[in-house]
Every structure is written in C-alpha cells, then in structure tokens.
Chain A
C-alpha cells in the first residue's frame, strides 16, 4: 500500500490549536485528476480483486466483492464521473467507504496517493447550484502544495442511483 502521511503546510502546533478545523483526506487519482475522500468515512483500502458482475445494473456499478465474508458493491469512480472506462493496473485499488444510508460501498480508483491534512482555510466550497452533473459529486476543492484536490461529497454519491 502506498500511503504516506503528509502533515502538509499545517505545523503540528497549529493543528492542535485549530484541530476542529482540519480534516484529513485520502488523495486518489482518476486519470490525470486528483480527488480527496474524507478519511473518517473510509473503512478499508484493498487491492483489486475479482468482481462478480450483477446483471441489470447501471454501467458504473461493477458488481460485488467479498470483503472478509461481507458482500460489498463496487462502483467505478471513472464511469461515475463520466470518464473513460477503467484500466486495471497494479496500482488499482478498491476504497471501501461507509455511507450513512447505504452501508459500505467500494470505489474503484486508479491509484491511492497519500493522506493530506487540510485546514478549513485550504478548502474552497463549491456552491450547490452548479449545473454540471459531474461537479455535483464534488463539494469543495482543497489546495495542497500548489496542487488542487477535488473533494468528494459522499452523501451525493450515495443518494444517486
């Protein structure tokens, strides 16, 4: 697993002072873009494994996997975001996320990069009324070391379908 903890621009003492205002994100890659998932809702990150197809499902729902005896649906984040279909590589991972209403769901992503800590000041909220269907799954953009990270709105992902 290629996870590296990066304390980022927040110095430890600063983080302690504003601990309620910092959130840790796992940064993933889909194609050339970077996305962040709130680390508090992540259950497990697992390597690619055989996915059993379920018929009559939307194309982004790839099927189900067996995670330690529990059946978990897996969706392709690329297809969900209307990107090109997945290419399975050694770096491909399934991120299992706890969704409030729907239980655990796995997200198929190209690569898991790192963990970053963002303070509220680093995050720019995106307004709800964006018309782009893709953008509605994103509720903020984080700035980190000069790079931009789109932050997933997990509730929007779960409500859809």
Chain B
C-alpha cells in the first residue's frame, strides 16, 4: 500500500492534533469537568488513531486507541480526571510526538512500543470499575453506525440513481450479455475520517484489483479531490462474486459500510428519463446531491442524533482551499530574483542621475520612479509571503511551564500575548530554542520557591510573561518574570572566583557590564546543576543564536523584583533600507534601523572623557567612534573641518560614528561575505551597488 504521497499531510495534521491535544489537556487540568474540552480531546484522539491506522503506523495506532478509550470513559463520566491521569496523558503525547518525529525523519515510527504507558492507561481504565464499562462504551460507539446503516437501507439503492450515458449503458449491457456480473456498490466512509480522499483512493485500488470500475459517482476525479460527502457509488464489472468485491472495499480501514447488489439496468430511474445531456448538467447533479443528503437526514433526524448528517446541501460542497503550500526553497529563489531586480533598478537610478547633466528626459525619470515603487512593493509582498506567526513556536510553552512547575516543585503560571506577531519563516524556525532557554531560566533561576515568595509578600504562584510585539522595523519578544531578579553581587563574585575578571576590574564594572558576563560561554551562577538549567550552556547559546539572526538580546533586572529579557529581531533579513556613507575612498552602508540622527559637529565640541572622545548632544554624552581608524583607512577630511557624525543607537546605548561623506539613503540587498571571511565582527555583510561594485555593510551594534 503506497501512502507516501499522503505522508506530508499526515505529518502536518498529526502535529496539529497533538498541539490541539496539548492545549486541551492543559485546559482540562484546570477545568476537569468541561464537557466541550473532553469532547474535543476525544475527537482529536480519535482522528489521530484513524490517521495512524491508515498510514500503517500500528504502534501509534495502539497508543492512541488506548488513549481514546480513556477519554471515552471520561466522557461517559465513569472516570474522573485526576492529576496523575493528566501526567500519563502528557507522557502519551510526548510518546506520540516521538513517533511523529521518527516518521518525519525516516518515514518509520520506530520500534518503541511504549508498553508501560499503555499499561498505565489500562490501569486507569481498570480503575473505572470493570471491563464491562469499556464494552458498554464500545457499544455506544457502534450505535450511531447501526443507525446510519439503517438510514442507508431506508434509502433505495444509490446506484440506481446514477445518471448513465448511452456509452456506459452499452458497456454494462455488453458485459451482462457476456455473462459477466455487474454490481452496484455504495461505500460509506466513517464519519470521523480525516483523509477521505486517501481512503477512497484505497477503495478504488482494492476494488480495481478484483473488478473493473465502469462508473463512479461522484466522478473519480471529484472523489480524489475530496469533493464528496461521506459516500460514493461505483458500478463495476467483475468475474468474481459480489462478496469478494465488497470484502475488498471493506478491508480498507475507516470504511464504515459497503453495500452492494447486482445491477439491474431497468431499475435505474434515470434511464427511462435517460437524456444523455443530463450528466453534463450541474444543476441536475446538485439536485441529486441534495436528494441524497436529504434522504439520510430524515431518518437520522428522527433518531435525534448525528448533526453532521443534517448538513445543508450547499455546505456539502467543500470550500475551495484558498491557501497554497509552497516549498520554502521556491520562496528563497523568488526572493533572490527580487533582490537581483532591485540591484538592476539601483543601477538604472545611478545611470540616470549620472546622465542628468545631458539630455535625460523627464518621462524616463518618471518611469524609473514608477519602477522603484513597483520593486519596493514586490519586495514587501514577497517578504509578507514568508512571514508566519510565532504562534507555532510559542504554543508548546504552556505545556513546558506546566511540566517545569511539577519538576521544580514551584508554582508558576505563564501568560502569553502577541502570539499572532509575524516574523520571517527562517527566524521563526530558529527562535524556539532561545526562547525555551530563557523561559526555563526564568522558571529555574528567576522564580523563588513558594515559601520564599510568601515571606517576601509576593503571590505564591510565580508569573512568567511572554510578550511579542512589533516595534518599527523590529519584532520584540520579551520574557519577564516576577522572581528574584539577578543578584549582581553574586555574579560579580562568581566572575572573580572563576577568573573571568580580576577583582579590580570587577570593582570598576557597572552592574550592566556584570550582567552581560552571564552571556559568556560556560558561566552559570546556579548553585546546583539541575537538568533544567545550570550547566553553563544556555545564555551564551541564546546570545549567539539571536545574533546569527541579526538580532540582539538584552536583560534588565532588579534584585527581588524580577528580570526582563528582551529579544529584538529584524523584521526582514534580506533587504534593508540603509544609509550609504564614504570613509576614506570606500563606500559603506549602515542600516537605517539603528540610526538615530545625523549631526554636523564642529571640532571644538569634542571633549575628552577618560581619554576618549565624546560629544555632548542635547544633554546626552555620546562617545565618538572615528570610522577611518576602525576601518584602517586615511580620512579625506581636514582636522579643522566640521565632522559628519551618524548617531546610532543600540538599546540604551548610543554612539557617534564619524564619517567623511554622506551619499544618501538606499534600499540594499544583503549578501553574505561567504564562509571564508568571518573574522571581521563589525562587517555584517556586503551589498552590490548600482555600478556593480561592492559596498560593505557596517554593523553599528558591534561597534557600540
């Protein structure tokens, strides 16, 4: 059975269901009686089981089956939700996730049977009383199936309603004349089935092995595209008996019912009225569909159950999916092309400005301006396509905090906001680990134990906040806690003890500098090593990860009141607005995002503080950085000329970069310098200018 083409859908949907289950079980923990939640959990578990079964993942199916049994008991009210049951359920979800990961990497679920888990699930079931309960539950499960079965029988045979055209009729007649068997078969897919089309495809395949399908209603194409409600009808020609054909179809899992009978042409209602044109006309089909759906609706309505079957005909037409799945590589290719386009546009702009002295006409300039706005919009659109909400990453955190709370035996609650904030896909994929580190850090080091909190007059339950929001061209993600904060003196002593800094240095360092030491590799202040945090790997990894995404991380902390970790990430990675400047005779680009103002400073305004040049700009003392010195080039300006200073800002800190000349603002495409050149910290990349030359991009953050 080849199901590989469904593997991707399966993985996506499984992940969705697992996430859903995680969220719901968390809800259940705080509100054990909520019937809606229980139902939702049951449905998700049931779907998971069905999907795993279809794809042939037996272990996964077994585990979900047992989970489903437990939920079913909970739903019936014969088991009460208890904390240890929630724990087991979460472990089951972890095991399922492991299966899913295995499947993702190797298309195989692995060999872990998770027997202890299954046993514990069964223990829970056992505690509900006796096996009789389970039997009862199963019976209940079966009940609707029987009901719909009778609904089916009440209806006259569907294959007699199919509108046949003359060629199909002649094929059937000929087959019958040859003494072959012609059967009508109706296949009803299980209500909870997720991959209906996949199931139908398998039925088609199985039936085709023993017979020849002549007619399918809806058409095979429609069935494959999942444009059918729950059942589809086939007319087949076979040498074998009807039973064999039905068996073949029934062997496909999640097929609720297969009915069939030898086809008698004269019974076909459409043949007498049999106009060939009928088949082509959608209205007739729609009417027929309405009739079909209305028919089961009537008896079901009598039974007063299964609202799913009373779907309106209009709703039975599947809503056309308005989204498209695109390989990220294709988007990258598109992005590269947009970059090339912008470079080409820039060279047109520079060509036109050079020719200005001559006879460049205005319409040419207008067209260039138009081109400029089109490329900018195109770039923005492509960037937007690549944006995804951070929701997919942060959704797993409530569960993680819950587990940590148990493990560390501290009471804590996670509050999240701004999950809908969007970031570039590549950034979202990478941001999960650093955020997890910071949250663990807050839970482990930040929050105090309940007793200490009570002594300090804080609420017993610690709070951790995860807030995300957009700020200009950046996205800011904050991890906050109301715990103990960072003990600067402890860090200072630790640094001295470890020889990271000398006692004299330490004495001169500001609190902020001391806190920054935490980001150094292998620097952990936790007094004991736990498996949550405290192994000295963490904050430095967080920092380097964030920096590799061209972002930055900062921490503010007040002893006794808590800490705030702020991650700042650029919205876009590939194309930025930059200020082009000249230093010596070289051109450099500085990202506009970090620039505050441009200043014209007379040399007399420069003061010396601790032998360093500073300026006093509207009350703020700002250190000067002479770029020509940093970049090892000769400045072209005289010492007594006014200085052109670019004021840049990183968090709270500012600096003035002294340059020789301003060129102007330009949209630039960031290109990597290649793996060979990476020693230079303050060069973050290169860009290609309109004339084909390369300008380096200065990373103002690294200079401050």
Q: Which A residues fall within an 8 A CB radius of B?
A: 50, 52-57, 61, 64-66, 69-73, 99, 101-105, 158, 161
Query: Is B686 touching A71 in the complex (CB atoms < 8 A)?
Result: yes
Q: Which residues of A contact B246 (CB under 8 A)?
A: none
B694 with A71: CB separation less than 8 A: yes
Q: Does B249 contact A (CB under 8 A)?
A: no
Smallest Cβ-Cβ distance to B694: which chain A residue:
A52
Query: What mask results when residues 503 to 545 of chain B are scored 1 for a CB within 8 Å of chain A, else 0?
Result: 0000000000000000000000000000000000000000000
Within 8 A of A (CB), among B673-704: 673-677, 679-680, 683, 686, 688, 692-696
Which of B632, B679, B694 meets A64, CB within 8 Å?
A: B694
Given contacts A52-B586, A55-B631, contact A66 B677 (CB under 8 A): no
For the complex of A and B, 4 pairs with smallest distance between CB atoms: A52-B694, A102-B676, A71-B671, A73-B676
Residues in A whose Cβ lies below 8 Å from that of B586? 52-53
CB-based contact A71/B680 at 8 Å: no
Whose C-beta in chain A lies nearest to the C-beta of B669? A69
Q: With contacts A56-B679, A71-B688 known, is A104 near B674, CB below 8 A?
A: yes
Provide the residues of chain B in CB contact with A54, threshold 8 Å. 673, 677, 680, 683, 696
The distance in angstroms between the C-alpha atoms of A157 and B677, with both chains bound, is 14
- Chain A: interface secondary structure? strand
Which bracket fits the contact residues of B?
20 to 34
A55 to chain B, nearest CB (A): 5
Within residues 617 to 664 of chain B, which ones have a CB less than 8 A from any CB in chain A?
Answer: 630-633
Seen from chain B, the residues whose Cβ lies within 8 Å of a Cβ on chain A are 340, 343, 586, 630-633, 671-677, 679-680, 683, 686, 688, 692-696
Measured in the bound complex, the distance between the Cα atoms of B343 and A8 in whole Å is 45
CB distance from B372 to the nearest CB of A (A): 19
B694 contacts A73, CB within 8 Å?
no
A70: B residues at CB distance < 8 A: 671
Determine whether the beta carbon of B686 is less than 8 Å from that of A52. Answer: yes
Residues of chain A within 8 A (CB-CB) of B694 are 52, 64-66, 71
Query: With A55-B631, A55-B632, A71-B688 in contact, do A50 and B676 touch (Cβ < 8 Å)?
Result: no
24 residue pairs from A and B, CB less than 8 Å apart: A50-B693, A52-B586, A52-B686, A52-B695, A52-B696, A53-B586, A54-B673, A54-B683, A55-B632, A55-B633, A56-B679, A61-B677, A64-B674, A66-B688, A66-B692, A69-B343, A69-B688, A73-B673, A73-B674, A73-B676, A101-B675, A102-B674, A103-B674, A103-B676
Asked if B680 and A64 sit within 8 Å, CB to CB, the answer is: no
Given A56-B680, A66-B692, 6 additional A-B pairs, CB 8 A? A53-B586, A54-B683, A55-B680, A65-B694, A70-B671, A71-B694
In Å, the complex CA distance between A52 and B631 comes to 13
Interface centre among A52, A65, A70, by most chain B C-beta atoms within 10 angstroms, is A52
CB-CB under 8 A from B686, the residues of chain A are 52, 64, 71
User: In the complex, which residue of chain A has the Cβ closest to the Cβ of B672?
Assistant: A71
Cα A18 to Cα B89 in complex, Å, equals 66
